[in-house]
Structure 1
C-alpha cells in the first residue's frame, strides 16, 4: 500500500470488517509496526525513531477510539489532564489547557463528573478533548461514531469538522459507514483485503464509483432500487437519471417532457449535497410511442451525467 494524505484534509478510510482499516490506522502511529516500508508524518519517518523519539512524535498524533477508553475512576478533568501529565506539563499549564479543551468540546459543566455519569456522546467528546491535549497535527479516529446513535453521530462529526477547519488538524477517519464519509470527508480510500482499491474525492467517488465494493457502499446511502412488485406494474420504460453539479439544479426533465410526446412519472428521486455540491438521482417511468421515448432518452443522456434504462416495456 502506498498512500499520501494531504495536510489539513479529512481523509476517510472505508471498508468492511477485516479489510485492514484499523491495522493501517495503527501503523500511522506505529502501534502496529509495518514489516517494511516507511511511515512519514510531517516529514519524519517514524520507523527510524528510537523509543524516546517515537514517544515524543506520538504527542503530535492524537487518537480517538470507538469505545472511548476513559479511566472510570477519574473525573472528566483528570481524563483529559492525563495526556498532559504524560507530557510533563506544569500544573498551571494543565489547568489552563484542560479548561480550554472542555470549553471547545462543550463540556465545561462536566469537569468534575465521572465517565459513568456521561452519555455516549459526552464520553466521546472527552475522548476528543484528550486527543487534542498536546496540540497534535494529526488526529486518528478509529470508528469514532460507531457506538453512537444517529443524532449524536451528527453532533460529533460537526465537532470534528469544526476542529479540522479552525485548528487545521489533519484528520484520518476509518469507518464502514458511508453516511459518515458523505458528511465530513474531503477524500476517501476504499479498502479490500489489505489494499486500496479506489481513491478519490468524496464527490467523485459518489458520482462515479468504479469498483463493485464501492458501489455497494454508496448504494447503502443513495438507495434507489424499486421493489419488484412495483416494477411489474409499470407499462412504460423506467430510467434512472443522474445529475451532477449545476446540472442537478436545471430543468432538464421538464424541458424533455415539453419537447417530446411522452409522459413522465417520477417514481423515486432526491438531491443530496456532498461537499456542498448537488448530486441528483431520479427514477422515472416514460410512456408514449417507442420512437418518442428513445428520442427523449437520447435528449436526457446528452444533457445529464448518466442515464440507465432499468426496465423497458419493449
Structure 2
C-alpha cells in the first residue's frame, strides 16, 4: 500500500544543511496500523509529512497505491492527495465555522456536488459520535471532540490512507484512549491504512500492528509491535518500552537477595500456563517473586517475571533449562553462586 524507498529530506538552514530524514525505507501493508516512534528531532514528523508531499523529499520515492507521488504533476498530485487524509496534534479547525461546515469544507474543496455533501457530513458525524454537535462551534468543544471533528474531516473524501501526526499528544489519557479506539474501529470498518507518529509507546501498544523506531533521521528498529515489546534489540527501544512496561527492580532491593536473580519472559499462550509453578515442583529450588505481570499486546499475552531462585547450583541451572524448554526466554540478572 505504502512504499517508502531510500527517502532523504534535507533542510537548508543558516548554519548549513540539516538532514531530517536519512535514507529511510519502509513498507506499510493495506489495512495496517503502523506506528513511527521517536523523540523530538528524530525525523518522524518530517517523514510523515513527506508521505503526502506536504514536504517534498530531497531524494527517494513515496509510492502510495502503486503511484509514485514524487513523479506526479500538480493536478495528479492533488487527486492523489484526496486519498490521503491527515489529522494533526492541534486540530486546525476553522473557529468561525460550525462542526458541520468544518467537515463540509473538505468536501467542497474536493468539488463534491452540494447534494451529496449533507448526506456525507451527517454520515461522518455519526461515525465519530458527534451527531449532536452538528451546529456547534469549535470553541464549544472539548479537545477530544475537536479531534473527532478532525478525524471526520480527514475521512470526508474516502481516503485509503490516514496519517496521524501526534494526534493524541494534546489529550488527557482517557480521551487519548477513546480516540485510539475510534481509530481502531475506523481501521477495521473501512480497512483504511493508518500511519501514526508518536513519542508515546502506550499509543503504539494500544492499536498498532507494526512499528518503527527512529533516531537521528534513521529507522533503527522495525517489526511487529508484539515482537519488539517481547525482545527489543536497541537501547533506545528498551528505553521507550520501559516507559510502558517496567520490570526493573531497584538496586538496593537486589542487594538484599543472595540467590540467583532471573528475568523470565513468556510469549503467547504459554504466558498463561503454570510453567513456573511446574518448575518449582519439579526441581529442588525455592522461588521468591520480586516483580511480575502479564501484559496484553495485540490481544496476545506477554508475561514477564523477575524472581530469585535458591538451591544447589546444578538444580538452579536445570530449573532454568526447564523454563527455556517450555518456551521461556531466561536472562540471569545476577548469580548467588
2:199 equivalent to 1:176: yes
> Which among 266, 281, 291 is matched to residue 258 of structure 1?
281
User: Aligned partners of 1:2, 1:257: CA distance in 2, in Å?
Assistant: 47
Following superposition of structure 1 onto structure 2, how do residues 103-114 of structure 1 map, counting pairs within 5 Å? 103-114=126-137
**For the residues of structure 1 that align with 2:306 and 2:26, how far apart are their CA atoms?**
37
Cα deviations by residue, 1:152-205 (Å, 9 ceiling, x for unpaired): 111111100111111011000111111111110111111111111111111111
Q: Distance in 1 between matches of 2:235 and 2:253?
A: 25
| 2:259 paired residue among 236, 240, 243 | 236
- Which runs of no fewer than 5 residues in structure 1 stay unpaired? none
**Distance in 2 between residues matched to 1:308 and 1:42, nearest whole Å:** 44
SS of the counterpart of 2:195?
strand
Deviation at 1:236, TM superposition (A): 2.0
Contact 1:287-1:293 at 8 Å conserved across structures: yes
Q: Which whole-Å deviations, capped at 9, do the CAs of 1:34-84 have from their partners, x for residues lacking one?
A: 112221111111112121221121111100001111111111111111101
The one of 64, 68, 79 aligned to 2:87: 64
Whether the 8 Å CA contact 1:241–1:304 is kept in 2: the answer is no
Return the alpha-carbon distance in structure 2 between the equivalents of residues 19 and 224 of structure 1: 26
3-state SS in 1 of match to 2:61: coil
CA distance in 1, matches of 2:63, 2:312: 62
2:55 counterpart of 1:32: yes
Alpha-carbon distance, 1:255 to partner: 0.7
Partner Cα distance (1:39, 1:289) in 2: 60
State the alpha-carbon separation in 2 of the partners of residues 284 and 190 from structure 1: 30
Of residues 166, 180, 184, the one that matches 2:189 is 166
The 10-residue stretch of structure 1 (87-96 or 71-80) with the greater mean CA deviation from structure 2:
87-96
TM superposition score normalised by structure 1:
0.97
Tell me if 1:307 matches 2:330: yes
**Distance in 2 of aligned mates of 1:44 and 1:297:** 53
Q: Which residue of 1 aligns with 2:5?
A: none
Rounded Cα–Cα distance in structure 2 between residues aligned with 1:18 and 1:231: 36
Structure 2 counterpart SS, 1:100:
helix
CA contact (8 A) 1:11 1:188 kept: yes
Match 1:224 to one of 247, 254, 258: 247
Gaps of 5+ in 2: 1-23
- What is the Cα deviation at residue 295 of structure 1? 2.3
Q: Which string of whole-angstrom CA distances, capped at 9 and with x for unpartnered residues, describes residues 210-266 of structure 1?
A: 222112111221100011221122232211100001221221100111111221111
Q: More deviation in 85-94 or 158-167?
A: 85-94
Moved over 3 A (4+): none
Tell me what 1:276 maps to.
299
| Secondary structure, counterpart of 1:3 in structure 2 | strand
Give the aligned length: 314
TM-score by length of 2: 0.90
RMSD: 1.2
**Alignment partners' CA distance in 1, 2:290 and 2:231:** 23
Match of 1:132 in 2: 155
| Counterparts of 1:176 and 1:69, CA distance in 2 | 21
- Equivalent of residue 285 in structure 1, options 291, 308, 324: 308
* Residue in structure 2 matched with residue 91 of structure 1 by the alignment: 114
Q: Contact conserved, 1:139 with 1:169, CA < 8 A, in 2? A: yes
Q: Please name the residue that 1:189 is paired with.
A: 212
Q: Which moved more, 1:136-145 or 1:210-219?
A: 210-219
**Structure holding more strand per residue:** 2
SS of corresponding position for 2:158: coil
Moved more, 166-175 or 207-216: 207-216
